[in-house]
């Protein structure tokens, strides 16, 4: 493995090649000290026959200093300071140079030893070979310490004409020792790199195991939550339908029972939509359309929608908008539908959990020039721990959520949506006082509000003022019947095609005002059918097209790239269908006007 590979693995695997080499060299320090201790008697015995034997005292002193330095280095390497690799490297090199100095002093002593000169210089050369061996794991130490240790004996041997044979022999031994040490260093580097790669693989496997465990727990929580909410909702609906069918001698359901069943179905759809969005966002497939948004107008719409619910509980509902936001210029930047979804969730939670008091929406600008939308209530409030738990997926605070339906995903999804729009969602709360959730989004002071940026009033259904002839491509019979009922309720005429191929054929030979194409159909699917209609000649190729999808961002992108004017996500409502029809026809008119110009 190359050094580049090892560098790539080092940050994730923990220990780098240098760290492992220094660890190996540190582990060899006690053995190096033992080798010098064992060879010292041999050197003393040979030195006792030297003419200048008295100079061996200096060798003993330096040897003791080297042993002390080695002992100090071993102890330092056990301290937290040794985590610095640069400091460790300097300590290893300095300790090795102390021993190289001892060898140099021994070579100087041997040079004046008379008849024992060559013997003592060869022993000093052997000591240099010991240094070369024990510095082999780390290449810088090998090159610096090994070269310094061998230079003293070799210089002394080559300096005398009478010791050329011994000098050649010593040079060959040192060269062989260096060659073997370099080979050992290379082998060790490969082993170190393999160890690092193994650590990386172990870490990756542990990470994947944790991810799989987290995913399994998430799916388990999802199934548990949905099974509970679906069971409760469908049980209530089934009782009302049983009464409507006259089973078990029951009378027809009252208006209150029908209203309760409708509420149960609405809650169930809300849970399913939130769960779908949360799972899509978790997978990174949720897309947003960032554009100028009339945040005050949208907040007023959401407030008006929730006013009946607040009035039923006797709660005061107010909104405060800063004067700088009431001007004609300047707008928040975000996805209008997703912003509405966040505010509806925050407002709904505030009203849902507040028993008495008031709920307020406050809009203003932060010192950083961003827009801040606060939803404050006088509800039960949450502690710091409970507030963190409230933002966890599938987690509901038992103290405040008992008996209140929900999936425990609203705040998690709202925070994810805020981040997708380059914003953030924060909260402050105190038990017994209330909570305040703050949505902060980018704000463009130079943006000019257009009609498209202003949202419709709640409950107002956009309409073109005339009946449209609509081509609907849907392979599922139940979905087709539901969509036909909605469109006919809006006053439109519907021609149903059961697959994409039939829809293209009908668009080619008949005149339609609009087409609604399901995104997933057998044979010719939604994007393919949309592209085929766009390829038709004449007015048929400019037909406004609505892509009806299941909620996947990738599916929406495919349909829009194929030529769809707008996207409608299942399950549909009357208002959503009416708005999609209005948006598609308006987009088609803008496109036609642009082509004419």
Residues 315/351, Cβ–Cβ less than 8 Å: yes
Burial class (CB in 10 A: 0-12, 13-18, 19+), 60: exposed
How does pLDDT run across 184-209, given as a tens digit for each residue? 889 988 888 888 888 888 888 888 88
The span from the CA of 493 to the CA of 487, in Å, is 7
User: Which CATH superfamily hosts domain 469-596?
Assistant: Response regulator (3.40.50.2300)
Strand blocks (E) in 289-339: 291-293, 316-321, 329-334
The pTM (predicted TM-score) of the whole model is 0.46
Whether residue 577 contacts residue 486, with contact meaning beta carbons closer than 8 Å, is answered with yes
- Of 300, 382, 383, 384, residue with least CA distance to 349: 382
Grouping H, G, I as helix, E, B as strand and the rest as coil, residue 153 is helix
CA distance from start to end of the chain: 64
Integer Cα distance of 359 and 378 in angstroms: 7
The closest of 186, 287, 329, 366 to 555, measured between CA atoms, is 287
pLDDT on residue 467 = 83
> From the CB of residue 365, how many other CB atoms can be counted at a distance below 10 Å?
15
Residue reference for tokens 């060269």:
175
Residues contacting 554, CB < 8 A, separation 6+: 285
Give domain 291-453's CATH architecture. Answer: 2-Layer Sandwich (3.30)
Q: Are the beta carbons of 129 and 173 closer than 8 angstroms?
A: yes
Q: Looking at residue 285, what is its pLDDT? A: 52
The Cα diameter of the chain in Å comes to 128
Provide the CA 519 distance to its chain's centre, in angstroms: 29
Three-state DSSP state, 476: coil
For the chain, which ranges sit under pLDDT 50? 1-14, 402-403, 451-464
Please check whether residue 324 is in contact with residue 371, taking contact to mean a CB–CB distance below 8 angstroms. Answer: no
Q: How far apart are CA 123 and CA 46, in angstroms?
A: 9
Closest C-alpha to 527, from 549, 497, 494 = 549
Tell me the C-alpha distance between 134 and 63, whole Å: 17
C-alpha 55/C-alpha 51 separation (Å) is 9
Question: Which is nearest to 529 in space by CA: 551, 548, 511, 552?
Answer: 548
Extract the tokens encoding 538.
């004449």
């Amino acid at each position: 493995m190359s050094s580049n590979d090892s560098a790539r693995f080092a940050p994730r695997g923990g220990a780098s090649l240098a760290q492992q080499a220094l660890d190996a060299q540190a582990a060899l320090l006690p053995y190096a000290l033992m080798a010098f201790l064992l060879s010292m008697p041999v050197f003393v015995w040979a030195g006792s026959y030297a003419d200048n034997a008295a100079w061996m005292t200096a060798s003993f002193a330096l040897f003791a200093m080297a042993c002390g330095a080695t002992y100090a280095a071993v102890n330092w390497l056990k301290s937290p300071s040794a985590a610095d690799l640069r400091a460790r490297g300097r300590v290893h090199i300095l300790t090795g140079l102390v021993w190289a100095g001892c060898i140099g002093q021994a070579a100087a002593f041997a040079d004046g030893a008379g008849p024992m000169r060559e013997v003592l210089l060869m022993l000093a050369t052997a000591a240099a070979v010991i240094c070369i061996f024990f510095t082999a794991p780390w290449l810088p130490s090998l090159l610096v310490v090994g070269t310094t240790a061998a230079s003293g004996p070799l210089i002394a041997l080559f300096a005398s004409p009478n010791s050329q044979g011994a000098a050649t022999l010593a040079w060959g031994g040192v060269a062989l020792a260096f060659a073997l040490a370099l080979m050992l260093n290379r082998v060790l580097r490969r082993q170190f790199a393999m160890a690092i790669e193994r650590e990386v693989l172990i870490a990756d496997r542990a990470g994947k195991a944790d991810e799989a465990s987290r995913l399994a727990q998430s799916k388990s929580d999802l199934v548990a939550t949905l099974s509970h909410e679906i069971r409760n909702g469908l049980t209530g609906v089934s009782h009302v339908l049983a009464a409507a069918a006259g089973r078990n001698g029951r009378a027809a359901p009252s208006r209150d029972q029908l209203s309760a069943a409708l509420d149960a179905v609405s809650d169930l759809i809300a849970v399913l939509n939130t769960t779908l969005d949360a799972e899509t966002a978790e997978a990174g497939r949720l897309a947003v359309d960032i554009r100028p948004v009339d945040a005050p107008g949208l907040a007023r719409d959401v407030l008006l929608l929730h006013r009946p619910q607040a009035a039923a509980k006797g709660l005061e509902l107010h909104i405060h908008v800063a004067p700088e936001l009431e001007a004609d210029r300047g707008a928040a930047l975000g996805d209008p539908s997703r912003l509405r979804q966040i505010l509806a969730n925050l407002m709904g939670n505030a009203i849902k959990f507040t028993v008495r008091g008031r709920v307020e929406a406050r809009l203003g600008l932060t010192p950083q020039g961003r827009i801040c939308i606060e939803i404050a209530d006088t509800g039960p409030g949450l502690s710091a721990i409970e507030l963190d738990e409230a933002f966890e997926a599938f987690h509901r605070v038992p103290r405040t959520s008992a008996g209140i339906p929900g999936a425990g995903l609203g705040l998690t999804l709202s925070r994810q949506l805020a981040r997708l729009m380059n914003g953030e969602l924060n909260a402050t709360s105190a038990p017994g006082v209330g909570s305040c959730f703050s949505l902060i989004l980018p704000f463009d002071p130079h943006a000019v509000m257009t009609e498209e940026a202003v949202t419709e009033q709640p409950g107002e259904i956009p309409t073109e003022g005339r009946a449209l002839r609509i081509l609907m491509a849907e392979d599922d019979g139940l979905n087709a019947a539901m969509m036909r009922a909605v469109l006919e309720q809006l006053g439109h005429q519907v021609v149903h095609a059961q697959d994409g191929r039939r829809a293209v054929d009908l668009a080619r030979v008949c005149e339609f005002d609009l087409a609604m194409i399901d995104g997933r159909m057998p044979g010719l699917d939604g994007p393919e059918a949309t592209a085929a209609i766009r390829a038709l000649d004449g007015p048929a190729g400019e037909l406004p097209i609505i892509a009806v999808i299941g909620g996947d961002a990738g599916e929406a992108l495919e349909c829009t790239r194929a030529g769809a004017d707008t996207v409608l996500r299942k399950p549909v409502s009357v208002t959503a269908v009416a708005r999609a029809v209005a948006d598609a026809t308006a987009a088609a008119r803008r496109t036609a006007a642009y082509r004419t110009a």
